[in-house]
Every structure is written in structure tokens, then in C-alpha cells.
């Protein structure tokens, strides 16, 4: 995001709940090929010019990456030799630093062919993401007056053996700020997702207590409960009469 919005976003991110993956993300587009990005008409026709806006977010934010999905593996002898989803720096980074998509999952400099970013995909490991050289990322952030935040989420579960039944589930949320030459600054340390307070049962809508919780209904004197029943009968009769008139 723009550097001018850094303080606004940081203050909001201290208490925001990022669990649920509702923040913007790119899960992989099939509308263009890897080497079409970011210059070809197939890619240009698939994007939206407007920035991502959500009423929950206090300012405009931009994704730092783009994902391309390759569904057709025909011609590949082993599916293990191809990553179905690959990531590249966002269009603004690509154009600002003069980058291009080279071999699948590899991004290079246009003038000298230097590798700037690669996709990390190791068989048997869960982490799959884009790695970019810090010097180039720092150059872009300084040149375009941008800052980079991480929105963190996860789960911590207590699971029984041997049936692997989830006994306790805790959703995690957090946030951090990228630092040019240091570890990330924790804005919101990873914590359990705050639980929403249950809605209170509505109290009676009139003197007869319509909509009253069942506990109060059972605790009422018989005389009062009889009056409510009579009132309900009156309302039912009125409803029938109005229906007949229509």
C-alpha cells in the first residue's frame, strides 16, 4: 500500500481479525499463461483497474503477487515436474523493476537475465510460495513509496488419537510489517481469534411479553401466562380476519 497509509493501516491491524481469508488474495487464474504475464492481451483483459476496496479495510490495499493456474498437463511425462499454480510479483513490481516471466516459476531481469524471484515448491512439504530477493523488493518499495504488511492466520487444534477427532479448535489471527533490513515488526502477535458475544434473547415487545425467553415464560404465574395466551388468540383471530378481507 502507499506509504502515506502506513499508520492508518497499522493502527487498524492491531485488533483486526484476519481469520477466514476474507482479505484479497490470488488463488490462480486460468485466463492467461505463465509467459503471457504481465504484458499480453490475455492477461490485460482479465484484470480490473480498480484497487481492492472493502468496507472493513480503512484504506486501499494492493496484492504483491499474481497467481497463474496451469490445469492442462498434457505433454508432461511426470506431473511432479510441473507446478500447477505458480506465483509472480504483482504487475506494478514487474513493470517498475523491468522483470519478465522466464522458465515456469522463475522471474528474471529483462536487461541481464538475473533471477529475481522463484517459486518454492518442494515435494512432501506444505509451504508453497514466492521468494524474491530482498534487494529488489527494497528497491521497489523505496522507488514507489510503498510499504508491505503481512496478514497472518492459522489454526491450533487439540486432536484425539487414534481417531483424529478435533476436540478443541482455536482460530488464529495476527499481522506484521515488513522491515527493509530486519525481521518483520509484529503489529498484532498471533493470537486466538476473539469470540463474538452471543446475541441476547429479545425481551418482550409489549406488556404481554411476546418474544419472551422460555425460562421467563415457565417462571411466570399461571394468571399472567393465561393472559398472554388470550392475547395470542386475539392476534390469531385478527390475522384470520385480515386475511379474509384481502
CA distance 210 to 114: 74
Question: What pLDDT shows up at residue 50?
Answer: 47
C-alpha cell at 140: 521497489
Can you name the residues that pair with 193 across neighbouring β-strands? none
Nearest alpha carbon to residue 92 among 129, 63, 130? 63
User: pTM score > 0.95 for this model?
Assistant: no
Question: What pLDDT shows up at residue 84?
Answer: 80
For the chain, 246 residues long, give each residue's pLDDT as a single digit of tens.
999 999 999 999 999 999 988 888 888 888 898 999 999 998 998 876 545 556 689 999 999 999 998 766 665 555 555 568 899 999 999 999 999 999 989 999 999 999 999 998 777 777 888 999 999 999 999 999 999 999 999 998 888 888 888 888 889 999 999 999 889 999 999 998 776 665 665 554 444 445 556 666 566 665 555 676 777 777 777 777 766 555
Question: What pLDDT shows up at residue 218?
Answer: 62
Question: What pLDDT shows up at residue 26?
Answer: 86
At residue 235, the 3 state secondary structure works out as helix
Peptide bond into 38 cis (omega under 30): yes
C-alpha cell at 47: 484484470
Sequence spans of domains, the chain: 3-148, 201-246
| Contact assessment for residue 17 and residue 190, using Cβ atoms and an 8 Å cutoff | no
Distinct helix (H) and strand (E) counts, the chain = 6, 9
Chain-centroid distance of CA 146 in Å reads 21
C-alpha cell at 118: 522463484
| Contact assessment for residue 191 and residue 173, using Cβ atoms and an 8 Å cutoff | yes
Question: What pLDDT shows up at residue 45?
Answer: 87
| Contact assessment for residue 230 and residue 209, using Cβ atoms and an 8 Å cutoff | no
Mark out the alpha helices in the chain (DSSP H runs): 6-13, 41-44, 91-97, 134-144, 214-219, 222-245
Amino acid at each position: 500500500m502507499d506509504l502515506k497509509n502506513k499508520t492508518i493501516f497499522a493502527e487498524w491491524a492491531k485488533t483486526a481479525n484476519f481469520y477466514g481469508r476474507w482479505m484479497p488474495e490470488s488463488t490462480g487464474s486460468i485466463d492467461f499463461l505463465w509467459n503471457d504475464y504481465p504484458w499480453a492481451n490475455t492477461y490485460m483483459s482479465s484484470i480490473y483497474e480498480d484497487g481492492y476496496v472493502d468496507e472493513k479495510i480503512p484504506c486501499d490495499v494492493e496484492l504483491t503477487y499474481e497467481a497463474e493456474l496451469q490445469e492442462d498437463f498434457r505433454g508432461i511425462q511426470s506431473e511432479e515436474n510441473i507446478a500447477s499454480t505458480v506465483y509472480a510479483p504483482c504487475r506494478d513490481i514487474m513493470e517498475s523493476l523491468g522483470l519478465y516471466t522466464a522458465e515456469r516459476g522463475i522471474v528474471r531481469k529483462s536487461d541481464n537475465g538475473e533471477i529475481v524471484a522463484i517459486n518454492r515448491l518442494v515435494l512432501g512439504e506444505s509451504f508453497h510460495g514466492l521468494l524474491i530477493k530482498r534487494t529488489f523488493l527494497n528497491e521497489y518499495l523505496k522507488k514507489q513509496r510503498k510499504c508491505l504488511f503481512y496478514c497472518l492466520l492459522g489454526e491450533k487444534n487439540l486432536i484425539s488419537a487414534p481417531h483424529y477427532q478435533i476436540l478443541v479448535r482455536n482460530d488464529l489471527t495476527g499481522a506484521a510489517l515488513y522491515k527493509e533490513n530486519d525481521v518483520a515488526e509484529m503489529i498484532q502477535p498471533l493470537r486466538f481469534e476473539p469470540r463474538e458475544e452471543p446475541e441476547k434473547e429479545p425481551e418482550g415487545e409489549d406488556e404481554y411479553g411476546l418474544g419472551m425467553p422460555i425460562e421467563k415464560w415457565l417462571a411466570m404465574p399461571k394468571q399472567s401466562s393465561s393472559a398472554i395466551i388470550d392475547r395470542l388468540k386475539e392476534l390469531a383471530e385478527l390475522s384470520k380476519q385480515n386475511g379474509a378481507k384481502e
